[in-house]
């Protein structure tokens, strides 16, 4: 077992243990699936109490480096991979950036009357026909998201004949020289309704991350409105803000430098 460095008197002991664990995992000393030393072994190694060790383990668990199984110990988690989302991307691009293989299952594709809410978001009249497209999005064959997309008939007809299990809406529209130029997002935690929970293989009412997006083409033409439900055990978002070093104009807030989803293609047993 790798030996721990001597503890520094000016740094909390639990932080030094968690820093060491993090470094061992990042450097590959402990790889995904490896079992970490027991709490008592780590305590002996660093000369600290089990309470201190548990606090350190809790820290690296919260950061996604490990998972713990009661009665068995602590194990190294498959590391999360990051990719930028400050720019507009589609699901396939997100997965490719994350090093995962994207696939979609089309669950529904049909014309239906627009509800007042959908009509308002698409700039239509209630009752106007829209196409509803439901897709289960998979990463390395693992369900990661459920998409419900509403398109005006004009854009929906362009999707005919395309394999929407392999092609994305962005890619299809680009083939007609229609580029998505901007999007409006709303991100919130919701309880998964039954028709979303079932394909995602989670219990109804499980908390999921819902991203509502309205996408626009040139001239502010509304292309579609979409609700994407991410499994909360598969994705989280991280952001980085930068403060104006001069500190003079606080009215503008902090500048957004990074806004990244963190994906996991698989989960640990019993997690």
Q: How far is residue 101 CA from its own chain's centroid?
A: 15
> Which residues does residue 69 pair with via DSSP β-bridges, in sequence order?
73
- Copy the structure tokens of residue 98: 């994350």
Buried/exposed code over 69-99 (b: 16+ C-beta within 10 A; e: otherwise): eeeeebbbbeebbebebeebbbbbbbbebbe
Q: How far apart are CA 20 and CA 30, in angstroms?
A: 11
- Name all domains of the chain by residue range, CATH numbers in brackets: 13-76 (1.10.10.10), 91-233 (3.40.1410.10)
Please report the pLDDT score of residue 246 as a whole number. 53
- Copy the structure tokens of residue 24: 């061992």
Contact between 240 and 257 (Cβ < 8 Å) = yes
State whether residue 24 is helix, strand or coil. Answer: helix
- What whole-number percentage of the chain has pLDDT above 70? 76
Which tens digits make up the pLDDT trace of 102-151? 789 999 999 999 999 999 999 999 999 999 999 999 888 889 899 999 99
pTM over 0.85: no
Please report the pLDDT score of residue 244 as a whole number. 58
Which tens digits make up the pLDDT trace of 84-114? 444 445 676 666 766 777 789 999 999 999 9
What is the number of other CB atoms lying within 10 angstroms of the CB of residue 212? 15
Is residue 268 over pLDDT 80?
no
Tell me how many degrees the CA angle 82-59-94 measures, rounded to the nearest 5: 10
Please report the pLDDT score of residue 27 as a whole number. 87
- Copy the structure tokens of residue 259: 């806004």
pLDDT band, very low/low/confident/very high, at 271 (cuts 50, 70, 90):
very low
Residues 203-228: what's their mean pLDDT?
92
Which tens digits make up the pLDDT trace of 38-87? 999 999 999 899 999 999 998 888 777 898 888 889 999 875 444 344 44
Residue corresponding to tokens 């089309």: 106
Q: How far apart are CA 40 and CA 216, in angstroms?
A: 57
Q: What are phi and psi of 261, to 5 degrees?
A: -80, 145
- What whole-number percentage of the chain has pLDDT above 90? 44
């Amino acid at each position: 077992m790798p030996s721990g460095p001597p503890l520094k008197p000016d740094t909390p002991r639990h932080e030094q243990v968690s820093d060491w664990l993090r470094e061992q995992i990042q450097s590959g000393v402990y790889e995904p699936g490896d079992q970490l030393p027991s709490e008592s072994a780590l305590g002996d190694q660093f000369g600290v109490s089990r309470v201190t060790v548990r606090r350190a383990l809790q820290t690296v668990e919260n950061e996604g480096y490990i998972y713990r199984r009661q009665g068995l110990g602590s194990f190294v988690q498959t590391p999360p991979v990051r990719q930028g989302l400050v720019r507009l991307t589609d699901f396939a691009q997100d997965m490719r950036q994350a090093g995962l293989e994207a696939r979609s299952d089309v669950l529904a594709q049909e014309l239906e009357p627009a509800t007042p809410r959908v009509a308002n978001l698409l700039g239509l009249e209630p009752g106007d026909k829209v196409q509803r497209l439901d897709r289960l999005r998979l990463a390395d064959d693992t369900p990661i998201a459920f998409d419900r997309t509403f398109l005006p008939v004009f854009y929906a007809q362009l999707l005919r004949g395309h394999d929407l299990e392999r092609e994305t809406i962005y890619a299809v529209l680009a083939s007609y020289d229609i580029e998505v130029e901007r999007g409006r997002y709303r991100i919130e935690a919701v309880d998964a309704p039954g028709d979303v929970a079932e394909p995602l293989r989670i219990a109804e009412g499980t908390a999921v991350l819902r991203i509502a997006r309205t996408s626009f083409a040139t001239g502010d033409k509304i292309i579609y409105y979409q609700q994407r439900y991410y499994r909360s055990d598969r994705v989280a978002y991280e952001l980085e803000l930068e403060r104006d070093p001069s500190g003079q104009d606080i009215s503008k807030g902090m500048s957004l430098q990074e806004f990244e989803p963190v994906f996991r293609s698989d989960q640990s047993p019993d997690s």
